[in-house]
Amino acid sequence: MFWNQLTTEAQLAGIVKTSELQPVLIFKHSTRCSISSAALDRVERKWNDAVDTAKVQPWYLDLIAYRDISNKIASEFNVEHQSPQVLIIVNGQCVYSATHYDINYLDILEAAEAAK
């Protein structure tokens, strides 16, 4: 799966702008957590870059390395920080959030489609 790497606050501002045209997925991943690794693997195994990336633009945040951006996401989108966590952003708003074992590939795509 091809992930856009979220490493700067400027990219976060770009995500908000992009979300006006296309739903955006942010996957907040803890590289120290086995649950996070399992959730990431479940999404990556089913993701089809050619089809799914046309529906929702995927961004990956290593929240251990970029905790300040994770905190900014929590405040900007009014969500409680969790790890792992996926957010769907549409028109600058978080329209879907899931954490831990609730992270599900089909739910992500359905939330992105429903929010259009």
Domain ranges of the chain: 4-115
* CA–CA distance, 3 with 111 (Å, rounded to integer): 19
Contact by Cβ (8 Å): 115, 90? yes
Is 3.40.30.10 the CATH number for 4-115?
yes
Q: What is the mean pLDDT of residues 3-32?
A: 96
Contact by Cβ (8 Å): 43, 27? yes
Q: What is the tens place of the pLDDT at every residue in 43-99?
A: 999 999 989 999 999 999 999 999 999 999 999 999 999 999 999 999 999 999 999
Q: Can you give the pLDDT at residue 115?
A: 81
| pLDDT exceeds 80 at position 102 | yes
- Predicted TM-score (pTM) of the model is 0.95
Q: Can you give the pLDDT at residue 77?
A: 96
Q: Which residue type is seen at 25?
A: L
Q: Can you give the pLDDT at residue 1?
A: 86
Dihedral angle sign, alpha carbons of residues 113, 90, 69, 54: positive
- Mean pLDDT estimate for the chain: 95
